[in-house]
Amino acid sequence: MFDRLISYLDSVHARDPAPRSRWEILLYPGVWALGFHRVAHWLFVGRLYFLARFINHLSRWLTAIDIHPGAQIGKNFFIDHGFTVIGETCEIGDNVTIYQCVTLGGTNPTNGEGGKRHPTLCDNVIIGSGAQVIGPITVGERARVGANAVVTDDVPEGATMIGLKARSTLVPAETWLREFIPYGTPCDEPCEPDYSRIDVLERELAAMKAEIAALKAEREQAPATRCRKSGTDD
């Protein structure tokens, strides 16, 4: 048990460079919330629903993280900061990372399959801060959901989802050759501006300005020309 705890704390430190020691990680609300959930889920599986809910309520009050006792969570799950909600029928794989203010929410039970109304996160998924993942969908292995994205459809394996409603960047996660991408969003293309396209637009804008200036000059010269012609006629 002690070895498993050390392994878990080390997995958190690998994803968060802020703590200086394992003791600091032990103070993280996400670590406490997961510990409370392990107990609550054990009670929930044993049909001790009131006690499971009591542990859940205590955990939410202490950590500002609400994990339903029925949620199934794998190894090395890390919630970085609080204010996260995880629904009853969520299934979370191994080495999943969630940042603050994330909702793994549900839909109308009649829209789910067999009562499932919350998402399934496969192994090594990262959910960025403020993201909303809604419904009985599957987020594929190694997928990333960017900050504030709203995801209501299945996410392919290795995809990065951004926007509202979320769309895939169509860039596989392995392209970045990095084991962990903080906050669920790569820092290079295609999330950064396309500077080559910006250069093209700037050249087109300069050409339009030159054409407008030429037209204005032509219009200013036209009255003077008409005046000279009128004087000649007199």
Note whether 179 and 138 are within 8 A (CB): no
Residues of the chain with pLDDT under 50: 176-177, 189, 191
Q: Please give the pLDDT value at position 219.
A: 84
Q: Please give the pLDDT value at position 177.
A: 47
Q: Please give the pLDDT value at position 37.
A: 98
Mapping DSSP to helix (H, G, I), strand (E, B) and coil, where does residue 66 land? strand
The token pair at 126 is: 């990262």
The token pair at 214 is: 């030429």
| Predicted confidence (pLDDT) per residue in 98-151, tens digit | 999 999 998 766 655 558 899 999 999 999 999 999 999 999 999 999 999 999
Q: Please give the pLDDT value at position 193.
A: 54
Q: How far apart are CA 89 and CA 72, in angstroms?
A: 7
Distances (CA, A) of 1 to 5, 6, 8, 36, 160: 6, 9, 11, 16, 35
